[in-house]
Amino acid sequence: MFTKILIANRGEIACRVIATARKMGIATVAVYSDADKDARHVKLADEAVRIGAAPSRESYLLADKIIEAAKQTGAQAIHPGYGFLSENEAFAKRCEEEGIAFIGPKAHSIAAMGDKIASKKLANAANVNTIPGYNDPISGPEAAVEIAKGIGYPVMIKASAGGGGKGLRVAFNDKEAFEGFASCQNEARNSFGDDRIFIEKFVQEPRHIEIQVLGDSHGNVIYLNERECSIQRRHQKVIEEAPSPFISDATRKAMGEQAVALAKAVQYQSAGTVEFVVGKDQDFYFLEMNTRLQVEHPVTECITGLDLVEQMIRVAAGEKLAIAQNQVKRDGWAMECRINAEDPFRNFLPSTGRLVRFNPPEQTMWQADTEHLYGVRVDTGVYEGGEIPMFYDSMIAKLIVHGKDRSDAIAKMREALNGFVIRGISSNIPFQAALLAHPKFQSGDFNTGFIAEHYAHGFNASDVPHSDPDFLVALAAHMNRRYRARASTISGQMRGHELVVDANYTVVVLGAQGHNQHFDAQVSDFEFDSRKSVVTLNGKRYEFQSHSAMRELRLQGTCNGQAFTVQVERGTPKNPLALRITHNGTQIDALVLSPKGAQLHQLMPYKAPADMSKFLLSPMPGLLVDVTVQPGQKVQAGEKLAVIEAMKMENILFATQDGVVSKVSAGKGDSLAVDDVIVEFQ
What count of other Cβ atoms lies within 10 Å of the Cβ of residue 272?
Answer: 29
Distance CA 236, CA 165 (A): 5
Cβ burial of 369 (10 Å; 0-12, 13-18, 19+) is middle
Contacts of 588 (CB under 8 A, 6+ apart): 469, 472, 473, 476, 509, 510, 580, 581
Query: Are the CB atoms for 291 and 114 separated by under 8 Å?
Result: yes
What is the DSSP-derived secondary structure letter of residue 612?
Answer: -
Distance CA 263, CA 224 (A): 13
The answer to whether residue 288 is catalytic is: yes
Give the phi and the psi of residue 533 in degrees, each rounded to 5: -165, 160
Distance CA 645, CA 480 (A): 43
Pinpoint the alpha helices (H) of 455-522: 469-488
Query: Are the CB atoms for 36 and 42 separated by under 8 Å?
Result: yes
What count of other Cβ atoms lies within 10 Å of the Cβ of residue 240?
Answer: 27
What count of other Cβ atoms lies within 10 Å of the Cβ of residue 161?
Answer: 22
Residues in the chain: 682
What is the DSSP-derived secondary structure letter of residue 255?
Answer: H
| HEC readout, 558-598 | EECCEEEEEEEEECCCCCCCCEEEEECCEEEEEEEECHHHH
Distance CA 442, CA 435 (A): 9
Tell me which of 200, 210, 288, 301 is the catalytic residue.
288
Residues with a catalytic annotation lie at: 288
